[in-house]
Amino acid sequence: MQTLIDRFDRVHRDLRISLTDRCSLRCTYCMPEQGVPWLQKNTMLTTEELLRLASVAVSLGIDEVRLTGGEPLLRRDLVDVVAGMTALDPSPEVSMTTNALGLTKNAEALVAAGLTRVNVSLDTLNDDTFKKMARRDRFQDTLDGIKAAADAGLAPLKLNTVLLRGVNDHEAPDLLEFALEHGYELRFIEQMPLDAGHTWHRESMVTGQEIRDRLETRFELTPVPVRGNAPAEMFFVDGGPAKVGVIASVTSPFCGTCDRVRLTADGQLRNCLFAQNETDLRTPCAKAPATKSWRTCSAPASALSCLVTALTSLASCSQADR
């Protein structure tokens, strides 16, 4: 089997697939309230195209597929996508990052289709703060979705939190308390300059160090020695075994060990969240000979060569050698 090794000698094993750019929330750090230039529906990858590209990726050593968005739960064929991904040979681990809205309806079907884990975004335990941060009145629905995921056996259930100064940063210890009580693993993510609304300011970002300082007002944190490829720096809480993670993508980038590639909902391959360039995989994939079933479709050679070329040149990740 081939492996995807880029020019920084990083081996890529983790594929993040955005299933849609649409979302049921409008988190202030992620999307503007209005005026998002949504992708045209007819440019989005079909289920068959998604599975073809995923089959190319697993043949190249990708062993973990993370479904994301926008909000992946808005994709109507989500259960079919998960079932198709887990049926690939070799079969990747399939997980999802989600805001959990709607998980009450299909958590069990997703588990039956082979979904193993979810990361759920939860930034606050306060109804009003949720409305302010997500610009939608869906706090209870989010909690219900998290519970549904846990009840369906999606474990370990991880929570992702972005702290905004003066908005929810005082809640860090309460969020950790909540996660510990329920047996979830909480990870704080430094706010990155990714929002389409360009509201990010380095000075107002809550840094990884500040996150730890806030947690240490209530808990004792001890670094977990082995980090591996994971972006989160992990800490035992009060001696363990419970842990909390801090992803300091801005103040302590993990580019040197990053093993991820990203596919947008319209089939563009991006080597990095901050990539300036994309490689179009949808066109070669769509041109691959039509088959009745993606299962009988051998990896389309042109998509495969695009993927390999994009990965091996990897011109857009300027920080990889750190």
Q: By the criterion CB under 6 A, which residues form the site for ligand SF4?
A: 23, 25-27, 30-31, 69-71, 99, 121
Distance CA 188, CA 111 (A): 26
Contact 59, 8 (CB under 8 A): no
Q: What are phi and psi of 257, to 5 degrees?
A: -115, 10
Query: What is the nearest approach in angstroms of ligand SAM to the Cβ of residue 7?
Result: 27
Does 192 contact ligand SAM by CB under 6 A? yes
String of DSSP letters for 280-297: E-HHHHHHSPP-S-GGGP
Q: What are phi and psi of 35, to 5 degrees?
A: 75, 25
For residue 229, what is the enclosing H or E element? Answer: none
Query: What is the nearest approach in angstroms of ligand SAM to the Cβ of residue 288?
Result: 28
Out of 191, 264, 271, 279, the only residue in the binding site for ligand SAM (CB under 6 A) is 191
DSSP 90: S
- Taking the alpha carbons at both ends of the chain, their separation in whole angstroms is 29
Contact 67, 93 (CB under 8 A): no
Query: What is the nearest approach in angstroms of ligand SF4 to the Cβ of residue 71?
Result: 5
* Encoded tokens for 207: 């840094």
Residue with smaller CB distance to ligand SF4, 70 or 267: 70
Does 160 contact ligand SAM by CB under 6 A? yes
3-class secondary-structure state, position 129? helix
Query: What is the nearest approach in angstroms of ligand SF4 to the Cβ of residue 50?
Result: 18
Q: Which does 68 bind (CB under 5 to 8 A by kind): ligand SF4, ligand SAM, none?
A: ligand SAM
Number of residues that bind ligand SAM (CB under 6 A): 17
Site string for ligand SAM, 221-260 (x = CB under 6 A): ----------------------------------------
Contact 49, 285 (CB under 8 A): yes
Does 99 contact ligand SAM by CB under 6 A? yes
Out of 20, 28, 55, 97, the only residue in the binding site for ligand SAM (CB under 6 A) is 97
Query: Strand 93-98 relative to strand 117-121: parallel, antiparallel, unpaired?
Result: parallel
Query: What is the nearest approach in angstroms of ligand SF4 to the Cβ of residue 235?
Result: 24
Q: Which residues bind ligand SAM (CB under 6 A)?
A: 23, 29-30, 68-69, 71, 97-99, 121, 160, 162, 189, 191-192, 194-195
